[in-house]
A and B are shown apart, each in its own frame.
Chain A
Amino acid sequence: MAMSEPAASDTQSDGDDAEAIRVEDLHKSFGSLEVLKGVSLTAHKGDVVAIIGGSGSGKSTFLRCINFLETPSSGRIVVNGEEIQMRADGSPVNRRQIERVRTRLGMVFQAFNLWTHRTLLENVIEVPVHVLKVPKDRAIKRAKELLERVGLGDRGDTFPSFLSGGQQQRAAIARALAVDPSVMLFDEPTSALDPELVGEVLTVIRDLAAEGRTMLLVTHEMKFAREVATHVVYLFEGRIEEQGPPAELFGNPKSARLKQFLKTVG
């Protein structure tokens, strides 16, 4: 439904207009509380879709439904052209399919969720070695490159609890990159960070956007969303209230609720 122009700096030459993720009419209820009331969204390769909204608007739930961390109540989800088979109640038909699709979606959490009993290097090679069955020496080589890239090249042997929040989040991004994801999902990646640590994480995400990675980004950082997103979606009470290119959405919001929201978040 949402159409957006491909990122200017797109380096993925294999079809900028190819569909990465399509979500149709997604509903999600927790008991009698309906959190998502029919959300549809399409992201093409190279898109950076920022999802904004107040707390309780359903933006995190939406993101978590895409990789089935939450089971949707109904709707359609298509990742890289593969539709996830759902029963009438939204539960997945085939856990294997979910697992396979999940390995293509690199997720970054608000609370980092690095595995605390493993070093950074072990965190980054964990999924490649034990899920994707990449030879260990190759996984280690790649993991070192990725840690280098997020500025943690010398911290491979450190355990997560010895690092700052910003460092942990950068390591978590390296872990997500290690599976070579076709889409990256960011769930409020800077919300748990001290203000002075937000910048270093945003810098890493900005670089990823610049190289044309497809990303879905739930965020409270409006300036950042405006800067890196190719498309912005404003959720209000489980529905898409307004969406469009960032310049339009932030510069000339049409809905009264979005105007109000942008005023309150500054």
Chain B
Amino acid sequence: MTQWRALLQPHRIVLMAIFTGLVIWCAFALRWDWVPQYAPLAVEGLWRTIWILILTSVLGFMLAIPLGLAQAVGPWYLSAPAKLFCTIIRGTPLLLQIWLLYYGLGSLFPQIPWIRGSELWPYLRQAWPYAVLALTLSYAGYEGEVMRGAFSSVNRGQLEAANAFGMPRFTMFRRIWLPQAIRNVLPTLGGETILQLKATPLVATITVVEIYSVSSRVRADTFIVYEPLLLLAVFYMMIAGLITLLFRRFEEQVPKR
């Protein structure tokens, strides 16, 4: 109740009125008659954006754990390649990485007979595996650096206690070190995942039909420019909002004082 009352202050009421007016104006003054025709394609695109985001974030994070660990405590022959990988990924544009993988690997593979003959070929001749690979490596590169800091930031006493009770190394990693490292960087990871969401439109450049490319299609077919872009912005904001909520739930698992 008190939360709602806080909304009922004069300046907030004015702002809410302006916003509502804008939404109503958009609904009536702009053209939305194209929506029904493109709705099925939009749903398909939205779904593709979401699964690409989830798949690449999860795979990328799984790669980021060893990358971070190698840099934090690994011997030089593991930490040096990990560091090099993160530096290259973070130092070059994602668009370039996507194109290099798609046009590079994508044109190399058809020349290799055993790849053409393999069971994976039906997938490798499509565009999305290259999009998933590029986005996964990108997320791994950035998060590998985040996890390096995360692993180093875990209090030594926490690990010492695990050691003192005879916890085997892998158990200690799984039960103490990794959960604490992740918890320390959860806010960062949430932000990075939203950045990952906003990187997904780049895969439209290699013919993957996700939600951004649907809005381009509408523009190309109908010459309607703003309405699809506005709707697109709303979609991205909703997904970003969901990501924020999800990470807030994760953070609440361990209450902070």
Interface residues of A (CB under 8 A from B): 67, 69, 98-103, 105-107, 109, 111, 113-117, 126-127, 130-131, 159, 161-162, 179
Contacts and interface: CB of A to CB of B under 8 A. Distances in A.
Contact of A127 (B155, B157, B167, B257): B167
A159 B180 CA distance: 14
A159 B254 contact: yes
Nearest to B257: A161
B166 A99 contact: yes
A130 B167 contact: yes
A107 B171 contact: no
Contacts of B126: none
Contacts of B155: 116
B164 A69 contact: yes
Contacts of A106: 165
Contacts, number: 63
B166 A117 contact: no
Contacts of A114: 161
Contact of B167 (A67, A99, A161): A99
A156 B30 CA distance: 59
Most buried by A among B158, B162, B166, B168: B166
Nearest to B175: A130
A131 B166 contact: yes
A104 to B, nearest CB: 8
User: Interface size bucket, B side?
Assistant: 20 to 34
A159 B171 contact: no
Interface string B161-201: 11111111001000110011001000000000000000000
Contacts of B40: none
B256 interface: yes
B256 A161 contact: yes
Contacts of A103: 165-166
30 contacts: A67-B164, A69-B163, A69-B164, A99-B166, A99-B167, A100-B166, A102-B163, A102-B164, A102-B166, A103-B165, A103-B166, A105-B164, A106-B165, A109-B161, A113-B157, A113-B158, A115-B176, A115-B180, A116-B155, A116-B158, A116-B254, A117-B180, A126-B175, A127-B166, A130-B171, A131-B165, A131-B167, A131-B171, A161-B257, A179-B165
Contacts of B179: 117
B255 interface: yes
Contacts of A98: 166
Nearest to B174: A130
Nearest to B179: A117
B160 A127 contact: no
Given A109-B164, A130-B171, A161-B256, 19 more contacts: A69-B160, A69-B164, A98-B166, A102-B163, A102-B164, A102-B166, A103-B166, A106-B165, A107-B165, A109-B160, A113-B157, A113-B160, A115-B161, A115-B162, A115-B180, A117-B180, A127-B165, A127-B166, A161-B257
B155 to A, nearest CB: 8
Contacts of A130: 167, 171, 175
A113 B166 contact: no
A254 to B, nearest CB: 35
A116 to B, nearest CB: 7
Most buried by B among A100, A109, A115: A115
Contacts of B176: 115
A103 B165 CA distance: 5
B164 A107 contact: yes
A117 B167 contact: no
Nearest to A96: B168
Contact of A159 (B161, B162, B255): B255
A127 B157 CA distance: 16
Contacts of B164: 67, 69, 102, 105, 107, 109
Contacts of B166: 98-103, 127, 131
